[in-house]
Amino acid sequence: MELSGADILCRSLAEEGVKYLFGYPGGAVLHIYDAIYKQDKVEHILVRHEQAATHAADGYARSTGKTGVVLVTSGPGATNAVTGIATAYMDSIPMVVITGQVPTNMIGNDAFQEVDSVGITRPCVKHNFLVKDVRDLAETIKKAFHIASTGRPGPVLIDIPKDVTADKTEYHYPESVDIRSYHPVSKGHPRQIKHAVEMMLEAKRPVLYTGGGVVLDNASHYLIELAQKLNIPVTNTLMGLGAYPATERQFLGMLGMHGTYEANMSMHHTDLLIAIGARFDDRVTGNIEKFCPDARIIHVDVDPASISKNVSVDVPIVGTVSNVLKEMLLLLKELEQPAEQKEALVEWWKQIDEWRAMDCLKFTQGDEVIKPQYVVQKLWEITQGDAFVTSDVGQHQMFAAQYYKFDKPRRWINSGGLGTMGFGLPAAMGVQLAHPDETVACITGEGSIQMNIQELSTCLQYSLPIKVISLNNRYLGMVRQWQEFFYQSRYSMSYMDALPDFSALAESYGHVGMRIEKPADVEGALIEAMALKDRLVFMDFVTDQTENVYPMIPAGAGLNEMILV
Amino acid sequence: MRHIISILLENEAGALSRVAGLFSARGYNITSLTVAATEDPSLSRMTLVTSGSDQVIEQITKQLNKLIEVVKLIDLTEGKHVERELMLIKVAVAEPSVRDEVKRLVDIFRGNVIDVTATAYTIELTGPSDKLEAFIAALADVKILETVRSGVSGIARGGKSLHI
Ligand SMILES: Cc1ncc(C[n+]2csc(CCOP(=O)(O)OP(=O)(O)O)c2C)c(N)n1
């Protein structure tokens, strides 16, 4: 049977098992919206801004491991989506973005709502396609899902001109695709793996430094097994939180710019750094010249281009994290030495425990003003560490990463690479849709939340009972902190004046609003909000204006040169 | 160090801009770039001359390999190879003495005069880039009206070949 391009798109998405399509209509995609109307396999979620569609699909993807899917119109629809595409690209999130385009015969004519979507997004997608012939559509969709979700995942964009969505052709959805120029490596090199394992058994001061790659590849249980077998301390990047249980003894906390004292000191003093699914980001390494001066480095990553990009490594292993860790565990079983190894690390652990005793995350909650750390800590207690937590970008994001102890992967959802303010609330929508019965909290600031606050309307439409935890310090806090430290407290444009009454605003959107001003009320308010299982609650916590995020490694410093308070 | 990277690329719209975009986005330099279809019309062959430290070149080849349309690539400078570049150069030859001098140089460099007018010669010359540069230097006082260079094409010596 012949189907229109629009119907083929819907059928293909259903074939891919797509449950939710996050989007916003417009002229170039009207045929597609008509096709959506006539089917019931894929549910379309209507956001209030295209950026939110991409973040919602992204949150869905991060919390499930499935590919998030977005549909927007040409021109402004596509450009509005770019921030979300770049956000997903930086954090290697599988996503397929469908953009409408002006009809093929008008491309290049500066037609109404024409923009070169393929050109604009080229540097921030894993790949993109312009489909000029309806006969190529189904196969292109198959390829897009394949590319987005394999190897190092990432967003793939499909630009579809309006006439292609009307044209008809025989529909056949391919079972699989083979792209001759795309065969991501999956198995690590056996000799390199063996070499790495031998080094791990010899090391006196090893550290496992693991990132988002462990989460993306669902390799958490292998990491736990490896770390515990060898008694090696583990630190996670911002993207890797949850991959190793934060409440477990061997966990050192997050590393990097706002990492813990024990994590950063261990990095500085290690003799063997085992980097897994992490990419030596500048927020992690600090000054590259001073990075891990005594260490030999093993690096496991699915993307060869991540290896020896910023820091040259001794043992590169290209492969999926799960495959490589599985191989390592098999080898360890054969070698049967772990017991000795455990003994050998006694000294190292003694040293680490001394660093730990610094208790670098301690803070004092007085009676007057609410400390942001306190809110996150209470949230963690009240949700028993089991909530999905999305965040925006700023101090609140760092407090969330430091004080919410994630014991499971895919629960901590934040924009690490691009640092996109406005990510938190729409991402939480995707998470809540994927996990309707779970608690989803969005930790945000009064600056960030205003970048996509219109999504409160989407949340009402789809009854998404997100708990918005706004740490309202009346400042663009992270900017203010840098100005305090490095610009002699000249607070240029970092003060948030003319703020709305967030509680009333949330109420006007049909949700529950709360304003919490006293430390004594924090716990009760959180308990009350969590009990409102089927309502979105916007909690406006009036927090300490001058609080800073510590520890902090200033630009140009090494990991051992932290500012502690 | 100068490197010649030879790439088999899907012969598709947009593939070239992906390669060029990668170089500008990551701040790598391109000395020259040539591209055309091969005997298999679905594939293009690109020769890209770039320079950088070993670490930069390693990143360049890895990043190129990540592009979905890149089918295969080699760094020709890692092995024995031949490189050739075509130059078309137009010089002013109004004076008979200059005409003789240019003719002599063209013979020495094994070039051809491919277009002649009373006032100008157009010369065709192929060879490695340094030969073309040597020719330009040898022209010394001769007035150059125009030069057009194709950029380098390269191929490995011996039986080795870049194919799928
Ligand atoms: C879209 C975007 N614009 C600007 C920035 C730069 N920036 C990083 S943190 C920050 C302040 C965030 O303020 P707020 O959301 O109130 O959080 P706080 O730091 O106060 O917790 C800014 C402006 C950014 N990360 N993203």
pLDDT-derived band at A338, boundaries 50, 70, 90: low
Q: B144: pLDDT confidence band, cut at 50, 70 and 90?
A: very high
Residues of B in contact with A126 (CB under 8 A): 68
pLDDT, residue A343, reads: 77
In this prediction, residue A555 carries a pLDDT of 86
Nearest to B63 among A182, A305, A312 (CB): A305
Nearest to B62 among A123, A179, A305 (CB): A305
Q: Cβ A304–B62 below 8 Å, yes or no?
A: yes
Q: How many other C-beta atoms can be found within 10 angstroms of the C-beta atom of residue B27?
A: 8
C-beta of A477 in contact with ligand 1 (< 6 A): yes
- Ligand 1 binding pocket mutation candidate from A478, A492, A540, A552 (most atoms within 8 A of CB): A478
Mutate to test the interface with B, among A181, A183, A288 (most CBs of B within 10 A): A181
- pLDDT for B133: 97
A130 in B contact zone (CB under 8 Å): yes
What is the band of B164 on the pLDDT scale with cuts at 50, 70, 90? confident
Q: Looking at the predicted structure, is the pLDDT value of residue A541 above 90?
A: yes
Report d(CA A202, CA A140) in Å as an integer: 49
Note whether A305 contacts B66, CB cutoff 8 Å: yes
Give me chain B's average pLDDT, please.
Answer: 96
Q: What is the pLDDT of residue A565?
A: 81
Angstrom CA distances, A117 to A34, A72, A280, A383, stand at: 23, 11, 31, 42
Q: How high is the pLDDT of residue A337?
A: 64
Provide the pLDDT for residue A1.
84
Q: For residue A491, what are the contacts with CB-CB under 8 A and spacing of at least 6?
A: A475, A480, A483, A484
From A13-17, A49-53, A245-249, A306-310, the region with the lowest mean pLDDT: A306-310
Percent of chain A with pLDDT over 70: 99
Are A1 and A171 within 8 A, CB to CB? yes
Q: How confident is the model at residue A394 (pLDDT cuts 50, 70, 90)?
A: very high
A421 part of the active site: no
- The answer to whether A179 faces chain B, any CB pair under 8 Å, is yes
> Which chain A residue shows the shortest CA-CA distance from B73?
A181
Measured between beta carbons, the chain B residues lying within 8 angstroms of A303 are 66
Does the pLDDT value for residue A7 go beyond 80? Answer: yes
What is the atom index within ligand 1 of the atom nearest the CA of A478?
Answer: 19
B70 interface with A at CB cutoff 8 Å: yes
Asked if B17 and A119 come within 8 Å (Cβ–Cβ), the reply is: yes
Query: ipTM score here?
Result: 0.93
Average pLDDT, chain A: 97
Rounded Cα–Cα distance for residues A299 and A203 (Å): 15
**What pLDDT digit, counting tens, does each position of A461-506 carry?**
999 999 999 999 999 999 999 999 999 999 999 999 999 999 999 9
| Per-residue pLDDT tens digits for A402-416 | 999 999 999 999 999
* Nearest Cβ partner for A147 among B18, B55, B68: B68
- Asked if pLDDT for residue A179 goes beyond 90, the answer is yes
Q: Is A119 on the interface with B (CB under 8 A)?
A: yes
Judged by a CB distance cut-off of 8 A, whether residue B19 touches chain A is no
Q: How far apart are CA A299 and CA B146, in angstroms?
A: 52
Place of tokens 């690539």: B73
Q: Residues A449-486, buried b or exposed e (16+ Cβ, 10 A)?
A: bbbbbebbebbeeeebbbbbbbbbbbbbbbbbbbbbee
| pLDDT at residue A339 is higher than 70 | no
Q: Is B30 helix (H, G, I), strand (E, B) or coil?
A: coil
Catalytic residue among A421, A451, A478, A562: A478
Q: Compute, in angstroms, the gap from residue A481 CA to the centroid of ligand 1.
A: 11
The single residue of A39, A113, A365, A454 carrying the catalytic annotation is A113
What value does the mean pLDDT take over residues A115-141?
98
Kindly give the number of the ligand 1 atom that is closest to the alpha carbon of A449: 15
Cβ contacts of A118 on chain B, cutoff 8 Å? 14
Q: Determine the pLDDT at residue A306.
A: 94
User: CB of A275 within 8 A of CB of A307?
Assistant: no
- Interface residue B53 vs chain A (CB under 8 A): no
More confident: A434 or B161:
A434
| Predicted local distance difference test score (pLDDT) of residue A419 | 98
